[in-house]
Amino acid sequence: MIEHFSLDGKRIPFQPGQTIMDAAMQAGEYIPHLCHNPEFRPRGSCRLCVVRANGRSVAACTSPAREGLEVESDTPDIQADRRSLLQMLFVEGNHLCPACEKSGNCQLQAVAYYCGMLAPDFTHLYPVRELDGSHPDFVLDFNRCILCELCVRASRDADAKGVFGISGRGIGAHLIVNAPSGKLGDTDFDPHDRAAQVCPVGAILPKHKGYDVPIGRRIYDRKPVSLVGDVADHQEDMS
Amino acid sequence: MSAPSPEQAAGTQLERWGSDSDNLLQMLIGVQAALGHIPEAAIRRFEAALGVGRARIEGLIGFYAFLHHRPRGRFDIRVADNIIERMRGSRELAEALAGRLGCPPGETRVDGRLSLGYTPCIGMSDQAPALLVNGYAIPAVEHARLEQVVALVEANTPLADWPPELFEVALNIQRKDLLLEAAVEDGAALAALKASGADALMQVLEASGLRGRGGAGFGLARKWGFCRQAPAEAKRRVVVCNADEGEPGTFKDRVLMQDPQQAARMFEGMTLCAGMVGADSGFLYLRGEYRNLLEPLERELQRRRDAGLLGKNIAGIAGFDFDIAIHLGAGAYICGEESALIESLEGKRGNPRDRPPFPVTRGYLGRPTVVNNVETFIAAALVAVQGADWHRARGTEHSAGTKILSVSGDCARPGIYEYPFGVTLQQILDDCGAADTQAVQIAGAAGRTIPPDEFQRRVAFEDLGTAGSFMIFDQSRDLLEMVRNFNDFFVHESCGFCTPCRVGTTLMQKTLAKVSRGHAAPMDLDTLRRIGELMRRTSHCGLGATAPLSVLDTLDKFPALYRDRLSDRGFVPGFDLDAALSEARAASGRDDPRAHLEGDGV
Amino acid sequence: MREQQAKKVRVATCSLAGCFGCHMSLLDIDERLIDLVELVEFDRSPITDIKEVGPSDLGLIEGGVCNAENVEVLRAFRRQCKTLVAVGACAITGGVPAMRNHYPLHECLDEAYVNGLGVQDGGIPNDPELPLLLNQVHPIHEVVKVDYFLPGCPPAADTIWTFLEQLLSGKPVEFAYRQIHYD
Ligand SMILES: Cc1cc2nc3c(=O)[nH]c(=O)nc-3n(C[C@H](O)[C@H](O)[C@H](O)COP(=O)(O)O)c2cc1C
Ligand code: SF4
Ligand code: SF4
């Protein structure tokens, strides 16, 4: 028997074991997210997909769907929370969109557009972070990493390599590379790795392709992420 | 005795921990203790021997505050710096040490003799100021002791040869009730299990109304019942005792474990649990700050094995096999959260897991796992012997029994107080000799800030739940200093997993600093609220959800703290404008009037 | 009609640490500029000769805050303008100039005035007429209160027009999807 829950009043069918996010995606309903990619085990860390389920705030990507659950997602207060979370992600790193090759193909931007964020008006933290150009085909720009761990999961689970990891904690948490030098060029990272294709922002970038597609004609330039989907589904548009 | 080589040190740990990568954290703690840091060569040895990537090892070193990739001084001194210690002079103590030893806080002396730094509460609030040397606690470091420590460091006396009385920690038990007064023989709970069987004892626990003492107050019988019913390979369930006691201002678990009789009961409670749910392995997760309890507790475990109370066919019950290993923490408050604790037991970074599944169904290595607090296991062992009515004779309908509180701060008699649940805050204040009290911070930095007009409220799950921290602030204190101290704590202790807590704690820290400098405008208070409420709603775990409470509580209940400090401007910059010209002044050598910015906001 | 003209909205604009790109975009509203001039009159702005900002209804700020003069100008705008708008990426995040926040200021100055390619007899200028640089570049909302943000590098002319039109007619400010971008 197919069970159902409601998402902003719509009836969403699901199979046992599915999360709210799984079922919503399958039904073509969009819940904002950054660290989620159905290919990998959900993580629930960006908190963008927090919804209210029977009155309780939960992450849609990690919460099991249940029969009769009443889920609210697209409400003014939840969207306002999402804008605050996005603003936190923007001020935490150095996201200078006009100077970023990923601009227009960036899911952080896209979700921020979708949620109506006009400016990250918290205090900017301007962390001092590195840029690693050691790899022949890829640049790793730590300034833009939002710690979604998609590359970590992809490299570990899909590529069986473990090129990436996280060290530090709290506001000092940061992406690391599995090499004594800490350099991507000293790992077995390869352009064909799944990990090379999942970064939602401009942190893992292919070299020599920066502006092949001009600004204005990129994935999110004309249509919102709710219609065109995640960056990871659009590799062909970027390389 | 010369220090072992990095390879030797790593080899010793590999042997000690069975070359099992689940024990990687314990091995790193061992190398850190042996060498004062975890050198490159040791990392390579672990990589090769365990087949783990170096990113995992680096990830651990970066996560746990007591692990270091770069060498620390021979004496690694950390001064406890919770607000209570601050009130008792922790900053002055650190400054004095810095001056006498020639090593500023946060640094290592050039000759490598010592490192000096701060650490959050080390469970010594009743005998502050206190510090850790290479993980070993020295309480009540007043003048004479300070001189003693300085002399020992300068003389390069090996820590093992420091006078033992330096490390003696007082129990300070001020009030006893059910738990602390009970006279029950060692092994009695296991005898009760043998006599009555698990089903019958389950009913006793159920009837006793016993709820967890680590904070959340989950029903014990329910938790054990879930675990018991969770499908598991024959008796492969796991029992974990949470002795992480990281909540600032709490020290009752330390006292319980220090007392040999209570420590025995704690292990007996764990063993009882194992017998009832069908578990074969147990862990005591002991916070690194309680390093000096490790050997006595190991000895107690050995005594129990020798007495047939651990090991095979325990207490003469055929097929009841169970043993307990002690794992140390390494300076991470989040590892008190049960699912982060389990990650840590598995040798990982202490990021809390998603729930469901709860540990009772999928815990340590995926096995059904019970996690309970030290005090809870002791209570369970006693209830099994004394019965449900004995326990119900104290407390309230929803909070049966007693609660052990750690009382500290502005009062005549800090220490351990055991009360029946339902006791009012006023009663506690009267008993401990607190006068002119401005506020009580109940349940630690993560708890609530209670003003005097609410001192008739009760310690009980239905009113003010607590794991036991009870910090008292009299009228002479600036509560904003308390709020900022707690916020600094959460900035330090956020695991960094989720956005609201990772970033929100730091943004709050900046705004609170602004308030404290008298630079905040009403807008900034709105920002504090907005961040705080966002953290409450959207954080992944209890740390982020409770971290803003003291800010939100004081905004509501002590508004003058903020109001009296507001700038008369409508808006003040988030940074000091004139100071922001300092580098340019230095570089250009200018100091003319135009090289300065006057005023702040408009 | 006459009365309306008497109550034209007074607008001041300036570029702090910006590239005038946002101003170019403002002019890019083409023939709508004529409609705009019907509605507004300009106070201090690169398109007028007024040097000091006077009482205005609306202030449009391009660029982030990188030196002492930027701070003074911005504060004057805040004092004089009823409504202040951060226009463009630099005003909102510091933008490209904020890339120098990665380096200590003295390194930037050394690179520009002492060690840089082609520098002869270099030295860091100490002329009191020159505004001193701040240690870091800041978005304007960290220095004054900002009422509205118009993102984009630059914001599209259409976005600016939509904003002005809605604001001046007292409607709630709302944008279509394609009007908002950060690049
Ligand atoms: C951030 C955080 C820290 C915690 N620290 C501790 C702790 O140090 N000791 C403890 O017993 N419980 C702690 N807890 C509660 C545990 O998650 C868990 O609820 C408890 O160990 C269960 O035991 P109990 O039912 O006996 O109380 C903490 C929870 C959170 C969210
Ligand atoms: S580099 Fe990209 S994919 Fe990896 S954690 Fe950072 S943002 Fe996520
Ligand atoms: S709330 Fe804080 S401690 Fe908990 S998972 Fe999130 S970042 Fe980690």
- Candidates 2.40.50.100, 3.40.640.10, 3.90.380.10, 3.40.50.700; correct CATH number of C9-99+134-180? 3.40.50.700
Per-residue model confidence as pLDDT tens digits over B428-452: 999 999 999 999 999 999 999 999 9
Q: Is the CB of A231 under 6 A from ligand 2?
A: no
Per-residue model confidence as pLDDT tens digits over A16-74: 999 999 999 999 999 999 999 999 999 999 999 999 999 999 999 999 999 999 999 99
What's the whole-number mean pLDDT along residues C114-135?
A: 87
Amino acid identity at A22: D
Provide the domain limits for residue A107.
91-209+216-223
Q: Which of A94, A103, A112 sits opposite C183 (nearest CB)?
A: A103
Question: Is A199 a residue whose pLDDT tops 50?
Answer: yes
CATH class label, B174-392: alpha beta
| Residue A236 confidence (pLDDT) | 63
Q: How many domains does the structure of chain A reveal?
A: 2
Instruction: Give chains near B: 3+ CB pairs under 8 A.
Output: A, C
Residues of C in contact with A223 (CB under 8 A): 177
Complex prediction ipTM = 0.97
Structural contact between residues B22 and B347, judged by C-beta atoms closer than 8 angstroms:
yes
Maximum alpha-carbon separation in chain B: 89
Question: Is A238 a residue whose pLDDT tops 60?
Answer: no
Residue of B nearest to A166 (CA): B59
Q: Where are the domains of chain B?
A: 6-63, 77-170, 174-392, 402-477, 480-563
Q: What is the DSSP letter of B36?
A: S
Averaged confidence pLDDT in chain C: 89
Q: Where are the domains of chain C?
A: 9-99+134-180
Q: Is residue A83 part of a domain?
A: no
**Could you say which residues of chain B have pLDDT below 70?**
1
How far, in Å, CA of C160 to CA of C157, rounded?
5
Q: Do the bridges between strand C65-67 and strand C81-87 make them parallel or antiparallel, or are there none, so unpaired?
A: unpaired
Q: Is residue A239 part of a domain?
A: no
How far, in Å, CA of A177 to CA of A182, rounded?
5
CATH number, domain containing residue A163: 3.30.70.20
Residue of A nearest to C89 (CA): A98
| Residue B201 confidence (pLDDT) | 98
Report the share of chain A in percent with pLDDT over 90: 91
Q: How many helices (H) and strands (E) does chain B have?
A: 25, 14
Question: Is C3 a residue whose pLDDT tops 50?
Answer: no
Which range is least confidently modeled, A211-225, B268-282, C78-92? A211-225
Report the share of chain B in percent with pLDDT over 90: 94
Specify the CATH number of the domain B77-170.
3.40.30.10
Evaluate if pTM is beyond 0.90.
yes
C1 pLDDT tier (thresholds 50, 70, 90): very low
Judgement on whether residues A103 and A194 belong to the same structural domain of the protein: yes
CB pair distance less than 8 Å for A176 and B59:
yes
| Residue C120 confidence (pLDDT) | 80
Find the chain B residues whose C-beta atoms sit closer than 8 A to any C-beta of A. Answer: 40, 53-56, 58-59, 61-63, 332, 349, 354, 356, 491-500, 502-507, 510-511, 527, 530-531, 534, 537-540, 574
Structural contact between residues B409 and B472, judged by C-beta atoms closer than 8 angstroms:
yes
CATH topology of domain B402-477: Ubiquitin-like (UB roll) (3.10.20)
A210 pLDDT tier (thresholds 50, 70, 90): confident
Question: Is A212 a residue whose pLDDT tops 90?
Answer: no
| Residue B72 confidence (pLDDT) | 96
Question: Is C53 a residue whose pLDDT tops 70?
Answer: yes
Question: Is C2 a residue whose pLDDT tops 70?
Answer: no
Structural contact between residues B540 and A47, judged by C-beta atoms closer than 8 angstroms:
yes
Dihedral, CA atoms, C54, C60, C63, C65, nearest 10 degrees?
A: 50
Architecture per CATH, domain B480-563, reads as Up-down Bundle (1.20)
Question: Is C6 a residue whose pLDDT tops 60?
Answer: no
Per-residue model confidence as pLDDT tens digits over C25-46: 988 888 888 888 888 899 998 8
Dihedral, CA atoms, B34, B37, B40, B41, nearest 10 degrees?
A: -10
pLDDT, greater one: B103 or C169: B103
Q: Which of B509, B531, B511 is nearest to A170 (CA)?
A: B509
Judgement on whether residues A60 and A105 belong to the same structural domain of the protein: no
Q: Which of A47, A74, A101 is the last residue of a domain?
A: A74
Q: Which of B53, B503, B511 sits opposite A165 (nearest CB)?
A: B53
How far, in Å, CA of B597 to CA of C131, rounded?
11
Q: Is residue A55 part of a domain?
A: yes
Mutate to test the pocket of ligand 2, among A34, A37, A149 (most ligand atoms within 8 A of CB): A149
Q: Is the CB of B256 under 6 A from ligand 1?
A: no
